[in-house]
Amino acid sequence: MDQELSASEWKEKLDDETYRVLREHGTERPFSSSYCEPKSEGSFSCKGCGAELFDAAAQFDAGCGWPSFDAAKEPDRIKEILDRSHGMVRVEVRCASCDGHLGHLFPDGPTPSGHRYCINGVCLNHQR
């Protein structure tokens, strides 16, 4: 399983920015991802391990600067962890397969789920 890779193995596998976000819990600059614009078809997978995380049909334009989704492809594909860093209380979203940091979950989504998975695009691959 990919989560058992050492830091040096992750650094070899990922580019610098993806490593910083996915493995060191960083955040990419807002509006820097080409995935901010919703895709009409396909799915999004974890750049760290390839696990399918979100369907394109679940994506919406939240205007927040990061790709946003109202639901995970399957609930067991992601982990939600209470995050009290930076003087805030949020829910961190991680890949359940490789434990990579993806972003955060907010309760202000526009669909009936009420969810907005605010995900760093640098952590994702889009497949049609």
Q: Where are the domains of the chain?
A: 2-127
pLDDT band at 3 (very low <50, low <70, confident <90, very high): low
* Residue 37, CA distances (Å) to 31, 84, 127 in order: 9, 29, 15
> What is the topology classification, in CATH, of domain 2-127?
2.170.150
Q: How many C-beta atoms surround the C-beta of residue 126 within 10 A?
A: 17
Longest alpha-carbon distance in the chain? 42
The predicted model scores a pTM of 0.92
> pLDDT-derived band of residue 86, with 50, 70 and 90 as boundaries?
confident
- Asked if residues 38 and 44 have their Cβ atoms less than 8 Å apart, the reply is no
Strand partners, 127: 43
Catalytically active residues are 118
